[in-house]
Amino acid sequence: MSIKNVRKEVMQTLEKNVDSFLNDYLIPPEKIWQPSDFLPNPQSDSFMEEVREIREISKDLGNDFWITLVGDMITEEALPTYESWLMDLDGVSQHEENGDNGWAKWIRMWTAEENRHGDVLNKYIYLSGRVNMREVEITTQHLIADGFDIGTARDPYKNFVYTSFQELATYVSHNNVAKLARKAGMKNLGKMCKIIAGDEMRHHKAYTEFIRQIFAVDPSEMMMAYFDMMKLKITMPAMHLRESFGSQGNLFDKFSEVAQRAGVYTSFDYVDILRKLNKAWNIDKITGLSADAEKARNYLMRLPERMERIAERIVVPDTEHQFKWMNPIV
């Protein structure tokens, strides 16, 4: 049987547990928080007063903070790209006799939860008055239109490695923004980013569980898929960030520098995530590996130390990049 067909068969086996995954890792809309829980109520007499308070407090934080918060929001707003990519995986189908199969159902419900993140951040940033929303909206539209290639093709193993990594990376980013917001006295924004981070951690645990179960039934191919993704290096979802009239990806390096300088997401965070994934999947204890998979395991075990040495040599410039997001609205 071809590798592709084996993967499909494994996905079909795991699909039998999708309902338990939904119950364990996702929360019904009526029970989970909604964006309006953190935003001024437009039906309240105190609405304008609350908006003025947000605008006043927002003045206390510098451009680096707002650039990283906007970048996080835009990354969340590019959700249509992520859903369409996942819907194309081998083993995922929207066209079964009764409609969506279990995996398609999971992806739709995961997407529905993720959608709230960009929604609440967008509204808060809009109310803050600190950014040029038209420029932000142009960047978001470009990011969705440009799409991305994360190097996984339709391989579910590689895609679940990617989502395991990225969900933890977004947890780190939102959690660090929450700390900065609370330190500046923006308690509500801090709480908002903290609870978004909690969602990301819950989703991370789901995807790492999918990988754990794949390791149990197809250890060698799962190890090779993990190796391929780490050797390629994880591509960031915002890799194609651009401004109005800019070329594809011309903004990403500048944004990354700001995020590192602000301590929101750094090269050391990347290394820490590698360590956590190795530990979560107990790759040092997996048995029954092929010779190639054993070599892949050895590479993965050594990789965090190698990446850490590289991270220690990185010097983050203190250049104050100009972002159109922060330009006054004309």
Active-site amino acid positions: 33, 76, 114, 117, 167, 170, 199-200, 203
Spatial separation of the C-alpha atoms in residues 294 and 17, rounded to whole Å: 29
Nearest Cα to 302, choosing from 227, 205, 235, 201? Answer: 227
Q: What is the DSSP letter of 246?
A: P
- Cα-based distances in Å from 265 to 166, 169, 268, 272: 12, 8, 8, 11
Angle at 287 between CA 209 and CA 212, to 5 degrees: 5
- Residue 145 dihedral angles phi and psi, to the nearest 5°: -65, -35
Spatial separation of the C-alpha atoms in residues 45 and 49, rounded to whole Å: 8
The SS3 call for residue 90 is coil
User: Which of 232-260 are b and which e, b meaning 16 or more Cβ less than 10 Å from the residue's Cβ?
Assistant: eebbbbbebbbbeeeeeeebbebbbbbbb
Residue whose pair of structure tokens reads 């967008």 in the numeric block: 122
The token pair at 216 is 């149990």
Partners of 99 in the beta sheet?
A: 96
